[in-house]
Amino acid sequence: MADKPFSHAGIIRFKGQLMTVVPHQGPCYRCVFKEMPPKDAVPTCKQAGVIGAMGGIIGSLQALEAVKYITGVGDLLVGRLLTFDGLKGEFHTIKLPPRGEGCAVCSDHPTITKLIDYEQAQCEWKPGQK
Ligand SMILES: [Zn+2]
């Protein structure tokens, strides 16, 4: 909605994924994730665990996407979702749906036209906690 590019990523346990959204060039976040999951459908990092190295791997890939965007080189992960299975040491790329088809945000007839605050489970971990 702000017409700003961003890299979206998520990690849980030994799995991670990322994609890059460039407005008007590929699918937006809502094109891919049509509905927010119910509040307690996704475990928090405290419940499921996050491997620190996964944050380093996926975060570095996000930084690389930013460098490629800024410098205009390479192929961004626009329209593709990169997944990494840390247990198997395998990367996969999934082709995402085209931009705008039935999307509540970027289609010709959007139904979501302003930001929405969703109530989601929060990570309960605080620095210094074990
Ligand atoms: Zn969209």
Q: CATH number of the domain that 38 lies in?
A: 3.40.50.720
The residue among 19, 25, 2, 16 whose CA lies nearest residue 84 is: 16
Ligand 1 centroid – CA 83 distance (Å): 20
Question: Which residues are within 8 A (CB) of 102 and not within 5 positions of it... i.e. 6 or more apart?
Answer: none
The residue among 62, 60, 50, 47 whose CA lies nearest residue 86 is: 50
Ligand 1 centroid – CA 89 distance (Å): 31
Evaluate whether 27 touches 21 at the Cβ level (below 8 Å).
yes
Ligand 1 centroid – CA 116 distance (Å): 15
Q: Report how many domains make up the chain.
A: 1
Ligand 1 centroid – CA 36 distance (Å): 14
Tokens for 32? 């891919």
Ligand 1 centroid – CA 105 distance (Å): 5
Higher pLDDT pick, 98 / 41: 98
pLDDT of residue 126: 66
The conformation of residue 54, written as its DSSP 8-state character, comes to H
Host domain of residue 68:
1-130
d(CA 99, CA 81): 14
Task: Give φ, ψ of 57 to 5 degrees.
Answer: -65, -55
Ligand 1 centroid – CA 126 distance (Å): 34
In tens, the pLDDT along 95-107 reads: 999 998 889 999 9
Ligand 1 centroid – CA 23 distance (Å): 9
Indicate the pTM of the whole model.
0.85
Ligand 1 centroid – CA 5 distance (Å): 13
pLDDT bracket for residue 42 (50, 70, 90): confident
